[in-house]
């Protein structure tokens, strides 16, 4: 089978420019690029191989700061290069297998979330979605395949208009859809039974970081007692938040919002363009993961039981007398 191979720098550039976008796709593309890089590598020995892959991983990690699927995926596959390895050939084999495993599992996770999430969509429901999440869409598409009759309100998603991708998918699947500007979300919320969105990151307290505007929609849903369901693979949960680290919210180029010419004519106006916002756990009813649906308050368990230690993002301090901790 011929596999399309892209260099790490090509992939990094495409992620930065959002030609490759969506938290899950970014993670899979980064891992696929690392796998290709490893297969092509001509490093003379193991330290040189590890260094080359580490450097490539660094380039990918520097592309977009918010979606933790990216560092989680990279750390997960980089873990396969630690421990006893005796040759470059063995390292390549282990690394390639780890990358393929991640890509396969990531795809399977989306399917399983679709199956579970679809069960929360009932006949006659009106569903609102925001941005373009393949995981959220998996729930809608599966519900449609199950024969559930429902309709969707999809937002435009300024400034990058990812809503256009969403309505294309919904249209092609034959799902009745209304396309609305972002600011119409509250106006229509009284007609909506369920909000379904994806996630770029989930913190230890169950807050969800997703496309800018998600928290306003969740607030409007909360006000009108509409349920909010988040579709998120376990590798979107952020172990580092256990250690008190914050998730950085990416602020993108002002040119996405106003053309440079218009911006230049408004010297006293500052353009702000955050790509994501934070929805507090109190506005979320359910997070559907491939391990099952959980209330946001259970985010810690997902990190502890399915993710954190495997990724190795946090090491427990050594135990025993005199070994760190409080005096």
Residue labelled with tokens 């490893």: 38
The H or E element containing residue 172 is: helix 163-173
Beta bridge partners of residue 230, listed in sequence order: 197, 287
Residue 264: burial class (beta carbons within 10 Å; 0-12, 13-18, 19+): exposed
Nearer to ligand RI2, 21 or 120 (CB): 21
Catalytic residue among 200, 253, 277, 285: 200
Cβ proximity to ligand RI2, 51 vs 248, nearer residue: 248
d(CA 278, CA 296): 13
Q: Does 135 bind ligand RI2 (CB under 6 A)?
A: yes
Stretch that binds ligand RI2, among 120-128, 179-187, 192-200, 318-326 (CB under 6 A): 192-200
CB of 95 to ligand RI2, least distance (A): 24
Residues 226-265 that bind ligand RI2 (CB under 6 A): none
DSSP code of residue 240: G
Of 212 and 311, the one with the shorter C-beta distance to ligand RI2 is 212
Closest to ligand RI2 by CB, 88 vs 275, is 275
3-state secondary structure of 227: strand
Task: Output the smallest distance, CB 302 to ligand RI2, in A.
Answer: 16
State the pairing for strand pair 208-211/276-279: antiparallel
Select from 11, 72, 80, 133 the one that contacts ligand RI2 (CB under 6 A): 133
Indicate the DSSP class of residue 257.
Answer: T
Q: Which two tokens stand for residue 208?
A: 């969800």
53/163 with CB nearer ligand RI2: 163
Give the residue carrying structure tokens 């909506």.
192
Size of the site for ligand RI2 (CB under 6 A): 17
The residue within the footprint of ligand RI2, chosen from 80, 142, 162, 177 (CB under 6 A), is 162
- 200 catalytic? Reply is yes
Task: Tell the smallest beta-carbon distance from residue 134 to ligand RI2 (Å).
Answer: 4
For residues 192 and 155, is the Cβ–Cβ distance under 8 A?
no
| 189 vs 182: CA distance, rounded Å | 12
Select from 139-147, 181-189, 196-204, 290-298 the region that touches ligand RI2 (CB under 6 A).
Answer: 196-204
Tokens of 32: 């696929």
Q: Which of 70, 127, 143, 275 binds ligand RI2 (CB under 6 A)?
A: 275
Give me the catalytic one of 36, 99, 125, 131. Answer: 131
Shortest spacing between CB 70 and ligand RI2, in angstroms: 10
Q: Least separation, in Å, of the C-beta of 141 and ligand RI2?
A: 13
Site for ligand RI2 in 7-26 (CB under 6 A): 21-25
Choose the binding region for ligand RI2 from 44-52, 130-138, 171-179, 216-224 (rule: CB under 6 A): 130-138
Residue 93: CB minimum distance to ligand RI2, A: 29
Distance CA 20, CA 13 (A): 9
**180: phi then psi, degrees, rounded to nearest 5:** -130, 155
- Check binding of 200 to ligand RI2 (CB under 6 A): yes
Q: Is 99 a catalytic residue?
A: no
Q: Give Cβ neighbours of residue 210 (< 8 Å, ≥ 6 apart).
A: 130, 131, 133, 197, 198, 199, 200, 230, 276, 277, 279
What is the C-alpha separation between 309 and 327, in angstroms, rounded? 26
Residues marked active site are found at 131, 200
Q: Which residues bind ligand RI2 (CB under 6 A)?
A: 21-25, 131, 133-135, 162, 197-200, 210-211, 275
């Amino acid at each position: 089978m011929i596999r399309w191979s892209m260099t790490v720098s090509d992939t990094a550039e495409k992620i930065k420019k959002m030609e490759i976008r969506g938290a899950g796709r970014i993670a899979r593309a980064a891992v696929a690029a690392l796998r290709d890089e490893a297969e092509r590598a001509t490093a003379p020995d193991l330290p040189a191989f590890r260094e080359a892959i580490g450097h490539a991983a660094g380039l990918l990690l520097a592309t977009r700061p918010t979606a933790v699927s990216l560092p989680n995926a990279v750390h997960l596959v980089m873990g396969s290069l630690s421990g006893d390895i005796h040759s470059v050939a063995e390292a390549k084999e282990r690394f390639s297998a780890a990358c393929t495993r991640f890509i396969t599992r990531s795809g399977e996770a989306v399917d399983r979330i679709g199956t579970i999430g679809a069960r929360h969509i009932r006949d006659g429901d009106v569903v609102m979605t925001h941005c373009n999440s393949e995981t959220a869409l998996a729930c809608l598409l599966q519900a449609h395949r199950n024969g559930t009759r429902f309709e969707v309100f999809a937002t435009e998603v300024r400034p990058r208009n990812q809503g256009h991708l969403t309505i294309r998918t919904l249209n092609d699947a034959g799902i009745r859809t209304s396309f609305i500007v972002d600011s119409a979300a509250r106006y229509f919320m009284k007609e909506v039974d369920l909000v379904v969105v994806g996630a770029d990151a989930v913190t230890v307290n169950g807050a969800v970081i997703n496309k800018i505007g998600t928290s306003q929609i969740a607030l409007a849903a909360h006000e009108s007692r509409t349920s909010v369901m988040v579709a998120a693979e376990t590798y979107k949960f952020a172990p580092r938040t256990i250690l008190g680290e914050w998730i950085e919210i990416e602020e993108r180029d002002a040119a996405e919002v106003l053309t440079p010419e218009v911006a230049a004519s408004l010297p006293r106006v500052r353009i702000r363009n955050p790509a994501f916002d934070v929805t507090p756990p109190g506005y979320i009813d359910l997070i559907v993961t491939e391990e099952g649906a959980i209330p946001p308050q259970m985010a810690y368990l997902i990190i502890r039981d399915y993710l954190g230690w495997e990724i190795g993002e946090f090491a427990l301090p050594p135990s025993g007398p005199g070994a760190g901790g409080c005096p």
